[in-house]
Amino acid sequence: MITERLETQKECTKKENCNMMQSLINTQIWLSRTFDKLLPEKYRIDGNQDFIRSFVPQYLKPNLKIYDIGGGKNPYLSLEKKTELGATIVGLDIDANELQHAPQGIYDEVVCADITNYKGHQDADLVICQALLEHVKDVEKAFASIASILKPGGIALIFVPSRNALYARLNLLLPQTIKKQLLHTIYPHTKRLQGFPSYYDRCTPKDFHTLAKQYQFDLQEERFYFISSYFSFFFPAYLLWRIWILGFHLLFGTQSAETFSMALKKI
């Protein structure tokens, strides 16, 4: 009985400490967000949200065949939007478990394959790669594969975090288990969708331009984003990172982007 009570007490103290830590982190995030309001808007646009809400919708038309590569359990289109558009969606992912956990009925076909060694059938109107290419060991091979999946005139819509970002460099230095634990402890909401191993192979705007040329893609549109939230849990670090970003941008222009989107048309 006494041991049980002690255990419960320990649990409560642990919970209280956790809650205290979380509210401290929330205050730091609030401070970082508040500081950001002082910066011009272009430094505040969330790349992934812009890709979802503004970039991709421009290319959605009725009755397209869409490959969602690395869509896993979180495909780009909702079932409602897919039905409205009459789209056919192929879910291609390296992880069968991820594909299995996708919303029921979203994929008309699933392909469990590594995008770096998949040979397509030139039958896609649209390919969507959202937060995929940073997880791929050989991005050049992925470009070759995407080119083989698209019809001539088909378009690849890519959103990717840049290798040039500070968090990407840190990510490459830290062991996978440690960074996953850190990420999920500080930002519990990332547990479902983030924490896959990352390589950032050739994930820079410059390298993507080279690869696009090499695999005969015509660059239709590109957008660059200069915000990410990784350092927002500790305002002094966030402030230093913001100063770094402003200087980096001044010197290296779009190469300093934290994330970017590209629309590449297969010639």
Please report, as ranges, the residues that interact with ligand SAM according to CB under 6 A. 70-72, 74, 93-95, 98, 114-116, 130-132, 135-136, 193, 196
In angstroms, what is the minimal distance from the CB of 73 to ligand SAM? 7
In angstroms, what is the minimal distance from the CB of 70 to ligand SAM? 3
Both tokens of 191, joined, read 């547990």
Nearest to ligand SAM of 127, 242 (CB atom): 127
The span from the CA of 87 to the CA of 155, in Å, is 15
In angstroms, what is the minimal distance from the CB of 182 to ligand SAM? 17
Nearest to ligand SAM of 41, 80 (CB atom): 80
Q: Using CB atoms, what's the residue nearest to ligand SAM?
A: 72
| Cα end-to-end distance, the chain, whole Å | 74
In angstroms, what is the minimal distance from the CB of 245 to ligand SAM? 23
Nearest to ligand SAM of 70, 205 (CB atom): 70
Nearest to ligand SAM of 48, 255 (CB atom): 48
Nearest to ligand SAM of 12, 96 (CB atom): 96
In angstroms, what is the minimal distance from the CB of 254 to ligand SAM? 22
- Give just the sign of the alpha carbon dihedral 211, 216, 222, 228: negative
In angstroms, what is the minimal distance from the CB of 136 to ligand SAM? 5
Nearest to ligand SAM of 93, 258 (CB atom): 93
